[in-house]
Amino acid sequence: KLLPCRCLQDKVEQRRQALKTPTAAAMTFETFHPKTPSQQEALQAAFDMAKGQADFCLLLLWGAPGTGKTHLATAAIEWVLREAYESGRQIKAVRYYVPALLDYWQASQENGPQGFEEAYTPVVALDVQALDDLGAEKPTAWRLEKLSRLLNDRWETMRRTIVTSNLPSSTWIAGLGDN
C-alpha cells in the first residue's frame, strides 16, 4: 500500500485550507463587511431585494473577483429562506452557478425539447433567484439564448433576480442583447 509522505500531506492540507471558501450558511448579511461605499450600496440593495422592498426586480452585482458579489447573492437567498421558514411561508429561492445551470440544461436536451422545458420551468418559476458568475460560462449561441430567455421571463413576471458577474457589462449585454 502506497502512502504519501507526511510533508506532502501537510502541503495538500495547507493548500486545501487556503482555497477554503465560506459555506452558504456563513455568507450572511451580518458577516459581510463592506470596505467601500459601493460595497455598502450593494449590501443595501441586496438586503432590500431579499426583503422584497426594492423598487426593482433585477439586481446586478458587478465587480472584480473577491469583492463580495457571491457573498451578497448567497446572503440574500439565505435570508429569504430563513424568513420564509420562520414565518411559515412557502418561498422557493435558489442560487445557481451559471455555468453549472447551463450544463444541466444542455444535458436535459438529451430527452428532446420537452426535457429542456422540464428542466427550465422550475428554474424560471422560483420566487427569488441568484445567478452567480454570469459570463464564466463558455458562450455559445444556445447558451446566450437560454440565459436571455431566463432573464426576460423573470423580468416579465417581476420575479426577484440577483445576477453576479465580473465581466464588463458591455460584454454580456452584447451577448444577451439589450432589449
- 83-118: pLDDT as tens digits: 998 888 899 999 999 999 999 998 998 878 888 999
Whole-number pLDDT of residue 168 = 72
Q: Is 113 exposed, middle or buried (0-12, 13-18, 19+ CB in 10 A)?
A: exposed
Q: What is the pLDDT of residue 19?
A: 42
Please tell me the pTM assigned to this model.
0.80
**pLDDT bucket at 1, cuts 50 / 70 / 90:** very low
Q: How far is CA 164 from CA 16, 73, 98, 174, in A?
A: 25, 7, 9, 16
**Nearest Cα to Cα of residue 159 among 116, 130, 179:** 130
8 Å CB contact between 76 and 129: no
Name residue, grid cell 477554503: 20
